Amino acid sequence: MNPILVTGGAGYIGSHVVAQLSERGERVIVLDNLSTGFREAVLGGELIVGDTGDRDLVVRILADHAIDTVMHFAAHTVVPESVSDPLKYYGNNTCATRNLLACCAATGVRHFVFSSTAAVYGMPASGIADEDTPTAPINPYGSSKLMSETMLRDVSAASALRHVILRYFNVAGCDPGGRIGQSTPNATLLIKVACEHAVGKRAQLSIFGTDYDTPDGTCIRDYIHVDDLAAAHLAALDHLRIDGRSLTLNCGYGHGYSVREVIHAIEHVSGQRLANVVEVPRRAGDPPALVACSDRLKAILGWQPRYDDLEFIVRTALAWEQRSAPRVNA
């Protein structure tokens, strides 16, 4: 098999995918500028430090390594930051993806797996989204990803490129073996932040909004373990290699937990009450509930989750925080 280019492969999700690819014998080239990724998180393949928006570099990598498959993770992903600095997100998430697609077209790349997001759905009335749910993002992060999806579909329609777009719901947890985890500084993902608080790395845990129209007033999300999500990427790769058609698929478990339920799970796993949980106003860009319908992922790609258990997800995330950086106040 030709090598696979993984952009953003030193980041949280990308590094878990690289690990699984390498474990099954794939040849991997990782392109990452290390702005939010970590060199030590790349457990297999070759790391090239550089930007996805660097046309000359990307063309050279694709040509020199005869790349025929790209998995594209490189992106900014913090929703509140996208609201306060939208051009940063359109620049990195959309414009750099446009550059990457142009490079793929120029060098004859055949397969493209794209890291997208449930944020493209905005606020579906039922709180549940399948792939036919209208896209109506309510923040620049979701809009930047939706623009990239549109470009990818248009390029595929005009060329031999085929793609799988994977729309992630809330990714959480860490490698069960403890080798890699979520290390992004100033992360905003609830389970990550709450586990940091549980081990003393954050002085406070905020609940953003307690007046939503949900059973306990807090937001509900569909949390998927990062290793199950990584496995979906390998299934997408296999689908494309047997000349499968282009697809857009949701990645989630099909049920959600509220913020308070997640906090209770962390307290149960850690054996301690979280010391400083404060209720603050709603955060811009947060829908009340967002849960996946992932029936197509299972039916078409044969994906079956291994870690659909909130306490297991929390346990792996907490173990990572306990073994990683020293305590700090934040």
At 192-228, the pLDDT tens digits run 999 999 999 999 999 999 999 999 999 999 999 999 9
Q: Which residue has the tokens 């009450």?
A: 273
124 and 273 within one domain: no
Q: Is residue 267 part of a domain?
A: yes
Specify the number of domains making up the chain: 2
Q: Is residue 181 part of a domain?
A: no
The DSSP result for 196-234, as a single string, is: HHHTTS-S-EEEE-S-SSSTTSS-EE-EEEHHHHHHHHH
Q: Residue 104: which CATH number?
A: 3.40.50.720
Domain identity same for 161 and 214 = no
- If pLDDT is split at 50, 70 and 90, which confidence band does 170 have? very high
Which among 200, 235, 251 is the end of a domain? 251
Give the model's pLDDT for residue 325: 53
State residue 150's pLDDT score: 98
**Residue 58 lies inside a defined structural domain of this protein:** yes
* Average pLDDT rounded to a whole number, residues 305-312: 98
CA distance 53 to 60: 13
117 pLDDT exceeds 90? yes
Mean pLDDT computed over 267-285: 91
Give the pairing of strands 69-72 and 4-7: parallel
Is 141 catalytic? The answer is: yes
Which stretch of 14-23, 67-76, 84-93, 180-189 has the lowest confidence by average pLDDT? 180-189
Give the pLDDT of residue 323.
Answer: 86
pLDDT of residue 330: 26
Q: Kindly state the tokens that stand for 328.
A: 């700090």
Tell whether 329 is covered by a domain.
no
Residue 13 domain boundaries? 4-172+223-251
How do residues 21-50 score in pLDDT, each as one tens digit?
A: 999 999 999 999 999 999 999 999 999 999
The confidence band for 243, taking pLDDT boundaries of 50, 70 and 90, is very high
Residue 329 has pLDDT above 70, yes or no: no
* Catalytic pick among 89, 90, 121, 141: 141
What pLDDT shows up at residue 286? 81
Domain check: are 232 and 305 in the same one? Answer: no
Asked whether residue 52 falls in the same domain as residue 140, the answer is yes
Statement to judge: residues 314 and 263 lie in one domain:
yes
Instruction: Give a yes or no: residue 308 inside a domain.
Output: yes
Look at residue 90 and tell me whether its pLDDT is greater than 90: yes
Domain end, chosen from 209, 231, 251, is at 251
Are residues 262 and 152 part of one domain?
no
Shared domain for 217 and 231, answered yes or no, is no
User: What are the Cα distances from residue 219, in Å, to 210, 225, 257, 303?
Assistant: 8, 19, 8, 27
Does residue 277 share a domain with residue 157?
A: no
Task: Verify that 229 and 275 share a domain, yes or no.
Answer: no
Q: Are residues 217 and 228 in the same domain?
A: no
The pTM of the full predicted model, rounded to 2 decimals, is: 0.94
Domain annotation covers residue 163? yes
Instruction: Give the pLDDT mean for 133-156.
Output: 96
The reported pLDDT for the residue numbered 328 is: 36
What is the SS3 assignment for 196?
A: helix
**What is the CATH classification number for the domain harbouring 259?**
3.90.25.10
Percentage of residues in the chain having pLDDT higher than 70: 98
Q: Which of 251, 271, 294 is the last residue of a domain?
A: 251
pLDDT above 80: residue 326: no
What's residue 1's pLDDT? 81
Average pLDDT, the chain: 94
Based on the fold, state whether residues 156 and 210 are members of the same structural domain.
no
CB 211 within 8 A of CB 217: yes
Rounded Cα–Cα distance for residues 153 and 2 (Å): 23
What letter would DSSP give residue 93?
I
Give the pLDDT confidence score for residue 76 in this predicted structure: 92
327 pLDDT band (50/70/90 cuts)? very low
Residue 207 lies in a domain: yes
**153 inside domain:** yes
pLDDT confidence band for 188 (50 / 70 / 90): confident
Q: Is the pLDDT of residue 304 over 50?
A: yes
Amino acid at 253: Y
One domain, residues 98 and 241: yes
